[in-house]
A and B are shown apart, each in its own frame.
Chain A
Amino acid sequence: MGQRTPLYDLHVALGAKMVDFGGWDMPLHYGSQVEEHHQVRSDCGVFDVSHMTVVDVTGVQAGEYLRRVLANDVARLTELGQALYSVMLNAEGGVIDDLIVYRTASGYRLVVNAATRDKDLAWLQAQAEGFAVELTERRDLAMLAVQGPHARERCAELVTPPRAALIRELKPFHGLAEGEWFIARTGYTGEDGLEIMLPAAEAPGFLNDLVGAGIAPAGLGARDTLRLEAGLNLYGQDMSETVTPMAANLAWTIAWQPAERDFIGRGALEAQRAGGGAETKLVGLVLEERGVLRAHQVVRVAGLGEGEITSGSFSPTLGKSIALARVPAGTGERAEVEIRGKWYPVRVVKANFVRHGKALI
């Protein structure tokens, strides 16, 4: 038996097919993954993401510490409630994890992946030496992601007036506390929506209210196809400790300025940049024929060599198969993918297929 979130019993009662995900028993779907995917794109759906790791960083040197540990710069978070997406690198410039950091009243709040919890906490703790900071893991919190074009208005109808007001006013990529809840306008689907952290004991009641109001519960399966369509990387598949952010389509998350900020991994990234950049890049692939692209299938680029699909699936929104793939840096608009011994032509596109319900390719 894996670890369970406070919502486990409710998932089972809602008919979820439970699977192991990074040591957690999580809902894969509640009947149809594709249906849940469409619900999120067209209306809204709710995901239990309580398995994710929440860490509060406090202390007088919290900012200084995070400016060392993260490749993006928390000095950009000048106002309470602002959020930032960042990677955390090792000294070689490899990605230890990706995360969201929020500026809070007491310091900062990090949300890191579930499967990487142990190594992340060990790394964060090891780097904290010499800094006046305190790291507090918030196992007392559950987290629900309510995502979709109608997510905010539907949620606002079900919460207290001050929370409803906050939900209506919250700007994209901001998060603020309201009482014991922390409400953020962030997500992993390419749609508008919220990620709500709340005391574990309150989570089943709130999920019940959401589902009771007709908001479809959605599982990890839909979460994966939604994030793939949105071109959002999944740690462990599309990036890892052996890949730099430049080779993971995440160069935009590196804050090079100010030049004197010595974040971990900076030297390695600068060396790679000075050496002509990464040898590979992460791109999107679209299969025009019938079939399904899958992780680890081989990609062939004429004249340049081979690459590999890092994430692939059927895109419910586009009705065809799409993928993220790591390919030689010089790859143009065409490539081929081997599926069961046969080579299929694919279109190479920017890794961003669907945003706000609209096809981008």
Chain B
Amino acid sequence: MSNTPAELRYAASHEWARLEEDGSVTVGITDHAQEALGDVVYVELPEVGKALAAGEQAGVVESVKAASDIYAPVAGTVIAVNEALADAPEAVNAAPYEAWFYRLQPANAAELAQLLDAAAYQASCDA
């Protein structure tokens, strides 16, 4: 059974999004996603300053098994990326909700409300 924290929002494409106090949105991949991928060995992150549309490809996560695209859950501009993942991609498996990928300044913070809540995301995984 995968872990789906109630305080986060989710995209059906298996990213989690957390609204920070400063209004930025931190993005990572869910426990369900890391479990399906298996051991993560490489993460390709977007460039800081890049403007992303909601649902646009933002990077790639590669496990021993396969490569998977990661998407922007909401539109916005990339303001930070988690450089630590380059040397320790396995952190994505060990702590998926701490091993964030990148942080966005959302174009419209209200978009966050349109993402799935934990129950709806869990239901979409079980379907």
**A interface list, Cβ under 8 A from B:** 17, 28-29, 32-35, 221, 225, 290-292, 294, 313-314, 316, 321, 340
Contacts and interface: CB of A to CB of B under 8 A. Distances in A.
A221 B42 contact: no
B38 A29 contact: yes
A17 B64 CA distance: 14
Contacts of B41: 34, 292, 314, 321
Contacts of B86: 290
Contact of B67 (A28, A34, A35, A294): A294
B108 to A, nearest CB: 29
B60 A221 contact: no
A292 B41 CA distance: 8
Given A290-B86, A292-B67, A294-B67, A32 B39 contact: yes
Contacts, number: 40
Interface of B: 38-39, 41-42, 44, 60, 62, 64-67, 86, 90, 93
A33 B34 CA distance: 13
B42 A225 contact: no
Contacts of A321: 41-42
B38 A33 contact: yes
A292 B39 contact: no
B42 A34 contact: no
Contacts of B65: 28, 33, 221
Contacts of A290: 42, 86
Nearest to B38: A33
A314 B44 CA distance: 15
Which secondary structure dominates where chain B touches chain A? Answer: mixed
Nearest to A219: B38
A323 B90 CA distance: 21
A111 B63 CA distance: 31
A221 B67 contact: no
Contacts of A221: 38, 64-65
A32 B62 contact: no
20 contacts: A28-B38, A28-B65, A29-B38, A32-B93, A33-B38, A33-B39, A34-B41, A34-B90, A35-B39, A221-B38, A290-B86, A291-B42, A291-B44, A292-B62, A292-B67, A294-B67, A313-B64, A314-B42, A314-B62, A340-B60
B64 A314 contact: yes
B70 to A, nearest CB: 13
A321 B67 CA distance: 13
Interface centre among B62, B64, B67, B93 (most CB of A within 10 A): B64
A313 B67 CA distance: 10
Contacts of B67: 292, 294
A34 B60 contact: no
Contacts of B66: 294
B28 to A, nearest CB: 19
B60 A225 contact: no
Contacts of B38: 17, 28-29, 32-33, 221
A292 B65 CA distance: 10
B46 to A, nearest CB: 13
Given A314-B41, A321-B42, 20 more contacts: A32-B38, A32-B93, A33-B38, A33-B39, A33-B64, A33-B65, A34-B90, A35-B39, A221-B65, A290-B42, A290-B86, A291-B42, A291-B44, A292-B41, A292-B42, A292-B67, A294-B66, A294-B67, A314-B64, A340-B60
